[in-house]
Structure 1
Amino acid sequence: MKRIVQSKIVNIAISFVIAILLSSYVLSTKSATSTTNNPNNFTTLIPEKKASLKVALNLQFDNDKYVVIGAPATVQVDIEGSGALVSAAQSRNDIQASADLRSLKPGKHIVTVALRGVNASLTSTVNPQKVSVTIAEKTATTLPVSVSYDKSEVAKGYTASDPTATPKSVTISGPKTNIDAVATIAAHMSLPSGTKSSLTQTVKLVPLDKNGREVEVNLGRQNVDATITISPEDSKKVALAASIKNGDSKNYQVTFDPKNVTVYGSSDILNAMNSINVTVDVADIKDKGSVQLKLPQIDGIVRYDTDTVTATVSQINSSSNNSSASTSGTSESLTSESSESTTSSSSSNDTEASSSQQGE
Structure 2
Amino acid sequence: MERQERLVFGIESSCDDTAAAVLRIGERVEILSSIVRGQDEAHAPFGGVVPEIAARAHADRIDQVAAEALREAGVTAVALDLIAATAGPGLIGGVMAGFTFAKGLSLATGVPLVPVNHLEGHALSAGLEHDVPLPYLLLLVSGGHSQLLLIEGAGKAKRLGTTIDDAAGEAFDKTAKLMGLGVPGGPAIQRVAEEGDAERFAMPRPLLGRKGFDFSFSGLKTAVRQAAEEAAPLSDQDRADLAASFQAAAVKHLASRTEAALRETGATTLVAAGGVAANAMLRARLEEIAEAEGAGFLVPGLKYCTDNAAMIALAGARLHEAGLAPTQEDALALAPRPRWPLDGEAAPVVGKGKRGAKV
The structure with the greater share of residues assigned to strand is 1
Q: Larger % of helix: which?
A: 2
Larger RCO (CA under 8 A, 6+ residues apart): 2
TM-score range, shorter chain: under 0.3
What TM-score does the superposition give when structure 1 sets the normalisation length?
Answer: 0.15
Output the TM-score relative to the length of structure 2.
Answer: 0.15
**Bigger radius of gyration, 1 or 2?**
1
